[in-house]
């Protein structure tokens, strides 16, 4: 499996699910269009190198950016291998990638199956003539010795944020100001939104980019993890991590998230008043929510096993064999 990421829980979990090696490729840094183009070419070159070295029979890759599946597709044309995309919603919802939709349609029709993170994407894949495999949530067994151990005094809520355009940062900060009895930690590059730590109320900490161990420990000590998006169908990465640890989740209303979280989630409309109510509810009901989070992990494992059993019934597992040298 190949992903153009420095780190990616979802890709790691997917590779683990299929028991295949993972190659994370992240070449090039810097801002601006030229730097991005340069990084794309560097990633493409490294992808070619990885494929030539490993010579896989089947390649699983993220569908974004489209240049990654393009390189993998060309490889399979020369080798007689197969390409499977791990399909992220941005290919459909982000305008920058819409010109590539005809190419995505071609790839999913040719693939033995396409991994989908939600049923909205799965419906598109089906309409395109593809075969969706719904691996909506992939919580892992554990993160080392990290366990859910929320603070009893001074309850803490952890807002996992990338400060992307779909995340309601201003609304969330307004809600936090109205909840001085709770503490909040916000991860991610807050300078994307022009925020500064000195501007924050006393109960809010802008943590910036966090080392992964610190990130997981903060989540484990939180009453609940907060993740929000105005994109209704996406499956936020932090939800996988929260379920792995057993942390309840405060999140936006979404059929996808309700399916995954069930009673482990407190769902809210994206308004200041709605978020205030949701945080208070999570604090009041955290014991029951934590119990439900543990149950949700096992429920999602069972769903994954059901999906994989369908593949085995179709003899698709035979795809995952070494390429003859």
pLDDT digits (tens, 9 = 90+) for 194-250: 999 999 999 999 999 999 999 999 999 999 999 999 988 888 889 999 999 999 999
3-class DSSP string for the chain: CEECCCCCHHHHHHHHHHCCCCEECCCCCCCCHHHHHHHHHHHHHHHHHHHHHHCECEEEEECCCCHHHHHHHHHHHHHCCEEEEEECCHHHHCHHHHHHHHHHHHHHHHCCCEEECCHHHHHHHHHCCCCEEECCCCCCCCECCECCCCCCCCCEEEECCCCCCCCCHHHHHHHHHCCCCCEEEEECCHHHHCCCHHHCCCCEEEEECCCHHHHHHHHHCCCEEEECCCCCCCCCHHHHHHHHHCCCEEEECCHHHHHHHHHHEEEECCCHHHHHHHHHHHHHCHHHHHHHHHHHHHHHHHHHHHHHHHHHHCCHHHHCCECCC
Residue 89: pLDDT band with limits 50, 70, 90: confident
Regarding whether 262 and 182 lie in a shared domain, the answer is yes
Regarding whether 173 and 118 lie in a shared domain, the answer is no
Q: Is the pLDDT of residue 183 over 50?
A: yes
Regarding whether 276 and 172 lie in a shared domain, the answer is yes
Residue 141 located in a structural domain:
no
Residue 274 located in a structural domain:
yes
Q: Is the pLDDT of residue 310 over 90?
A: no
| Alpha carbons 16 and 304: distance in angstroms, whole number | 12
> In the prediction, which pLDDT does 318 show?
56
Specify the number of domains making up the chain: 2
pTM of the model: 0.87
- CATH number of the CATH domain containing 291: 3.40.50.2000
Residue 106 located in a structural domain:
yes
Regarding whether 224 and 188 lie in a shared domain, the answer is yes
Residue 7 located in a structural domain:
yes
Domain that holds residue 267: 156-298
Residue 150 located in a structural domain:
no
Mean pLDDT of 49-66: 94
Residue 20 located in a structural domain:
yes
Regarding whether 47 and 126 lie in a shared domain, the answer is yes
Regarding whether 96 and 173 lie in a shared domain, the answer is no
> In the prediction, which pLDDT does 258 show?
95
Regarding whether 262 and 293 lie in a shared domain, the answer is yes
Residue 217 located in a structural domain:
yes
Regarding whether 9 and 104 lie in a shared domain, the answer is yes
Cα-Cα-Cα-Cα dihedral of 236, 240, 246, 248, to 10°? 10
Residue 318 located in a structural domain:
no
> In the prediction, which pLDDT does 146 show?
84
Q: Kindly report the CA angle at 236 between 217 and 129, in degrees rounded to 5? A: 145
**Final residue of a structural domain among 86, 102, 135:** 135
Regarding whether 166 and 292 lie in a shared domain, the answer is yes
Regarding whether 267 and 227 lie in a shared domain, the answer is yes
Any idea which residue has 């109510």 for tokens? 277
């Amino acid at each position: 499996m190949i992903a153009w990421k420095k780190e990616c829980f979802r890709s790691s979990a997917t590779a683990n699910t299929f028991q295949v090696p993972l190659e994370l490729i992240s070449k090039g840094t810097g801002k601006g269009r030229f730097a991005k183009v340069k990084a794309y070419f560097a990633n493409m070159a490294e992808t070619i190198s990885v494929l030539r070295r490993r010579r896989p029979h089947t390649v699983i890759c993220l569908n974004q950016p489209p240049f990654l599946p393009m390189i993998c597709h060309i490889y399979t044309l020369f080798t007689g291998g197969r390409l499977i995309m791990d399909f992220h919603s941005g290919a459909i919802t982000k305008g920058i990638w819409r010109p590539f939709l005809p190419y995505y349609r071609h790839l999913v029709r040719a693939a033995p199956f396409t991994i989908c993170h939600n049923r909205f994407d799965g419906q598109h894949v089906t309409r395109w003539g593809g075969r969706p495999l719904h691996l909506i949530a992939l919580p892992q067994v554990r993160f080392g010795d990290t366990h859910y151990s929320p603070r009893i005094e001074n309850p803490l809520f952890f807002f996992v944020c990338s400060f992307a355009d779909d995340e309601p940062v201003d609304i969330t900060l307004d809600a936090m100001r109205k909840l001085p009895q709770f503490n909040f930690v916000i991860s991610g590059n807050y300078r994307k939104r022009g925020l500064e730590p000195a501007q924050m109320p006393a109960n809010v900490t802008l943590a910036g980019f966090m080392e992964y161990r610190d990130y997981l420990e903060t989540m484990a000590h939180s009453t609940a993890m907060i993740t929000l998006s105005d994109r209704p169908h996406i499956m936020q990465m932090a939800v996988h991590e929260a379920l792995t640890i057993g942390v309840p989740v405060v999140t936006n209303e979404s059929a996808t998230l309700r399916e995954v979280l069930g009673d482990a989630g407190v769902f809210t409309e994206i308004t200041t008043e709605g978020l205030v109510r949701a945080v208070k509810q999570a604090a009041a009901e955290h014991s029951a929510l934590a119990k439900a989070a543990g149950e949700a992990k096992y429920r999602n494992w069972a769903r994954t096993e059901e999906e994989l059993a369908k593949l085995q019934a179709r003899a698709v597992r035979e795809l995952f064999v070494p390429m003859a040298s």
